[in-house]
Amino acid sequence: MRIPPYWARGDFRGTDQRGREALFSSWGWSFESAEAARTDGEEKARRAFEIFSSGGRVEAYHYLDRPLREESVETFGDAAQPAAMITRNRYGSLVLNTTSVCFVDVDFPPPQSEGLIDAVLMLFSASRRRQRAEAAREATVRAVRDWIDRNPTRSVRLYRTAAGLRLLLTDKLYDPTSEEVARLFDELGTDMLYRRLTVNQACFRARLTPKPWRCGCSRPPNQYPRLTPEQESSYHAWLSGYERNSASCATCRLLDTFGPDSADATIASLVRLHDEMACGRGASDLA
């Protein structure tokens, strides 16, 4: 699982060949210490300066596989090699990250017209747009259920989310970077961003709490790690409101289960954790 526990901002100030002075800052990370994270940030800032001084585009300087800068909230299992970790993402929702318990997200596609005339009619008819959206959702559910029928050796828990479906595979443990998982994502039509995150972070991800704007909240006022007491104070004020508003919402709802559950203790414990946190208790709205 590639989720660094230490983040720090590093600076580098330099003068280029034309005598232009510039200060560059970059976030660094480490699995070892805050000091190592700061050193990493300084090195990234220095490399950004070198690109700037040679006439390159600094905004193009980044790592495609850069880990997500998320706060660790709780770790499960061995601290050195945890089975799972709950983090808080950039917009404030809690996310379950697992090393080998497989989650798959399948988004509902946008509603499709049935030709030019239908496309024009959809522009002026909310009921027609709702019908097309419902048809797209039903087609997605049928496709996923057909996939489950074609793969009887897999055990699956199927959930509905606000914007699609979530599958939790309970037959065995999976390697998030394996060819098997890549094929599984292809067959189910998983979102490309989720696929990249799964490989780059070497873990599966499942959002546990609502997106703030779906439960009447703004985004957090700042990002982790917070650098001043004022930032901490404003963030905790936001968090109190978010937790209050999100208490009446669920992130997903269980639709069906397929196949026998695994006897693996890790899978069983993470299924319970996920359902307790993501499905809510009697919540009617999906957020």
pLDDT per residue over 259-272, tens digit each? 987 889 999 999 99
Structural tokens at position 193: 């961003």
pLDDT per residue over 10-19, tens digit each? 999 888 777 7
Give the per-residue pLDDT at 80: 76
Mark the ranges of the chain whose per-residue pLDDT is less than 70.
Answer: 55-65, 111-125, 128, 281-284
Give the per-residue pLDDT at 282: 59
Give the per-residue pLDDT at 63: 40
Q: Report the alpha-carbon distance of residue 101 to residue 11 in Å, rounded.
A: 38
Give the per-residue pLDDT at 176: 97
**Alpha-carbon torsion 253, 257, 260, 262, what sign?**
negative
Q: From residue 22, how far is each of 10, 26, 45, 85, 92 by CA, in Å?
A: 14, 13, 11, 38, 33
Give the per-residue pLDDT at 219: 96
Give the per-residue pLDDT at 151: 96
Largest CA distance in the chain: 69
Give the per-residue pLDDT at 263: 82
